[in-house]
A and B are shown apart, each in its own frame.
Chain A
Amino acid sequence: MRYVLQRVGFLFLSIWAAVTINFVLPRLMPGNPAGAMFAKFQGRMTPMALKALEAEFGFNNQPLIIQYLHYIGGLFTWHLGLSFLYYPTPVTAVIASSLPWTVGLVGAFTILSVFVGTSLGILIAWRRGGLLDSVLPTTFMFLQSSPAFWVAFMLLFIFGFTLSWFPMSHAYSNSLVLGFTPPVVVSIIYHAVLPGATIFLSSLSGWMIGMRNNMINTLGEDYIVFAEAKGISGGRLLFSYAARNAILPQVTSFAIALGGIVNGSILVETVFSYPGIGYQLTSAVSSEDYPLIQGTFLIIALSVLIVNFIVDMLLVKLDPRVRTGGVSS
């Protein structure tokens, strides 16, 4: 119980810290949003229009402490302000329209990657030194070491542009009206193949090699040798004895990966013009859109912290040592 309270306290403290840093950081950037907007128009906007823009965004000239109090107050009521980039659209609306795409795409393929990678890791650890063990890690290490946007662009160029097997951009066909209908669902899956493959390929080897190494460590433990000597079947030994223990570090990594879903695909989304939150964040930063930067970072910080909290709780279930603070009872 004390452990749980500790974690809850830590959760709130870290949320406050994240929220405050979130407020300070964008304001340390040089320039201002009206100027950034003006820059985008490069001479197509007259100086009169800049005056009008500054008047529009003028509420930003209040003292910092007042802005901070407004901001904290807004968080409790979920009023994150109006985006400058999409002025006057509320930040919450921008996030609500882009977050589901990212969570769907990156979430699905991260989970797939974890599942496939971990399974492959168990398999090649069991048959270590075999053909698969030498081929798979090398291949996927190569893909993982290439930058994700490079992999994305290669896939786009080969399978989208040259071969025309898959669409080059967007989350679904532009000729469809979004709705929960079979053609839309098929189109969404079809459009997710290339960006999904990028995410899958560039994260698979981490899961595979991580699990393989954990497995090899665990398989070398005395209790495994003892169990094997007692004649326990191979499958039971592999999954119930070895994999159950070897998977603990994977769960922690998975938590970090889940938290990173929100921001983990910025470049992939940009390459495929995918209407997700990662792209939204980059454009918010380049437009000095403080409210949108804050909103997006808030979502990232909250998702990382909350997922970590959930995993801390889960570990209590999975690993009895956590409950007792490392003292064996």
Chain B
Amino acid sequence: MKKFNKKSFGMVAASVALTAVSLSGGSAFAAAHVAKRASASGVYTQPLVIAASVAGTFQPNFSPFQSTANSGTQGLIYQPLFYFDNISGHTFPLLGLHYAWSNGNKTLTVDLRKNVKWTDGKPFTSADVVFTYNLLKKYPALDANGVWTQLSSVTAHGLYQVVFEFKAVNVPYLTYVLSPVIVPQHIWAKLGDPTKATVSHPIGVGPYELNTFSPQVYTLKANPNYYMGEPRVRLLQFPSYTGNDSADLALAKGQIDWAGIFIPSIDKVYASKSPNNKYWFPPVGITTLYPNLKNPLLGNVAVRKAISLAVNRQIIYKEGEYGYEPPANPTGLIMPNNMSWMDPSLAKTNFSYNPAAAVKILENAGFKKNAQGIFQSPSGKPLSFTIQVVSGWTDWDMDCQLIANELKQIGIKVQVNEEQFGTYFANLTAHKFQLAISWVNTGPTPYYMFQQMLAPKGGWNLEQWSNATTTNALNAFAKTTVLAQQKKNMYVLEQAMVNQLPTIPLVYGANWYEYNTAHVTGWPTAQNPYVNPAPYAAPANAIVLMHLHAAN
């Protein structure tokens, strides 16, 4: 995180990412041939050790539809048609090659890759794709992306083309529609109820296939017939770690090559142990303060502006979030990932810490301090709120304490309510809170976050924002494929974030990513952020692995 050079970063990132996408995506066949010829050098035959998370021991669960499946099931064994990356913002064609809109953006036609084979030797065709989507329709429990809320039909046109008909125009939803992994019809048609099927011998199309399994460790081996060429890292090993302490020690010792683990004081306990111990924590989300806008005091934009000015985000970044997650951008964009969507007139806005200005805003809005030193509204209601947070999520608990202390200094009383996750989640989704700290759902463009957070029926509109200008901008964005129009509508949303503060962004949320350069290179870095680098991000994991090669 500290490695970002924010000023020069964006342009470099964009150009590097473009090179990366042309290597791994469009010209995949060419790349595959090159990889095969050059394979004498760069092949790494030792196992690459991956600790995607500290998730305990394993069960032979390789069903790609289960969120409980072992790491690597999605992406390395099973693959979707396309991958839309939320860090580089790029589209990676996987089983699909191209897609095109027609019929007023209601029909989506996808051309599939030819001569792709399942690892049992059977060919991959449009029948598998149609079968998979119909499976999601029949079993809504599998439809984690809700694709059938938008689709009316999925049909095959020949062996290598699939046509998706949408119920209504919703262009951005294509990233959800094209993201489910595809399973082989000749196997899954016989498995019975796929929500209860245990898959211990997965047959996929990805760069790896299952090699050995035990509850303590499983290994994947390279698929020699992978459509982009056999990966040069030939063997992956996934050991189980049941505690952060033991995983951290193993990482520091260089026993793990690729990890996605949170480590406090990482420079001291990990990076300083070896020059090969590297890490990069790219921002992927925003830790946000949600005001309940149905509360008459918090519904007043002056109060929200005062809160935002009185919160010292640098302290939250340094003390609450271990120095890993810097202050967020007032537009709600995740920088530098979303650089290309930034309204030029807002490019220079930043959150500032200015308690004096916060007090002035409240005074100008007619608030006066009462005997206890707490501001109260002209009608006599004191600015006294509760803030909800999950107990045991220590960084957020700390953030809330810091916020409460800072707001107290300007005359806003805040009481921190730490709740069990279940209670917290129920309160937030039922809008029974005054202030709450939570996340946002992000996507390859900022639209997904704004849609979830600001649309009247958005999935994470906790604050109950409802505004004709932003709703129209969201609707207009979803109806067009023209980039200039999308940007125009995006700018409206950014302006609303800056001027109205429907939610109050605090700091970024990071992805955890540690990597070891002793044996293998080609890793994504802050300078070359070609894809989301976290080992638990699928199918980005396949794209990272296709870039890796032996160090010498």
Contact = CB atoms under 8 A, between A and B. Distances in A.
Interface stretch (A40-48, A104-112, A236-244): A40-48
A316 interface: no
A87 interface: yes
B66 interface: yes
Q: How large is the interface on B (under 10, 10 to 19, 20 to 34, 35 or more residues)?
A: 35 or more
B421 A280 contact: no
A51 B141 CA distance: 8
A21 interface: no
B246 A272 contact: yes
A170 B59 contact: no
A89 B195 CA distance: 11
B136 to A, nearest CB: 9
Contact of B217 (A36, A44, A98, A170): A170
Nearest to A274: B242
Contacts of A169: 239, 241, 246, 250
A43 B537 CA distance: 13
A174 interface: yes
Contacts, number: 161
Interface string B476-492: 00000000000000000
A240 B205 CA distance: 71
B439 interface: yes
A86 interface: yes
Interface string B217-244: 1000000000000000000010111110
A9 interface: no
A320 interface: no
A8 interface: no
B172 interface: no
Q: How large is the interface on A (under 10, 10 to 19, 20 to 34, 35 or more residues)?
A: 35 or more
B67 A45 contact: yes
A161 interface: yes
A55 B140 contact: yes
A323 B169 CA distance: 83
B460 interface: yes
A51 B147 CA distance: 12
Contacts of A171: 216
A53 B246 contact: no
B166 to A, nearest CB: 16
A280 B56 contact: yes
Interface of A: 30-32, 35-39, 41-49, 51-53, 55-56, 58, 82-90, 93-94, 97-98, 153, 156-157, 160-161, 168-172, 174-175, 177-178, 269-275, 279-280, 283
Interface of B: 47, 49, 56-57, 59-61, 63, 66-68, 140-146, 149, 176, 195-198, 212, 214-217, 237, 239-243, 245-247, 249-250, 252-253, 255, 285, 390, 420-423, 425-426, 438-442, 452, 459-460, 509
16 contacts: A30-B422, A32-B422, A35-B426, A42-B439, A46-B145, A48-B145, A48-B176, A51-B146, A52-B140, A52-B146, A56-B141, A87-B68, A156-B249, A174-B49, A273-B240, A274-B242
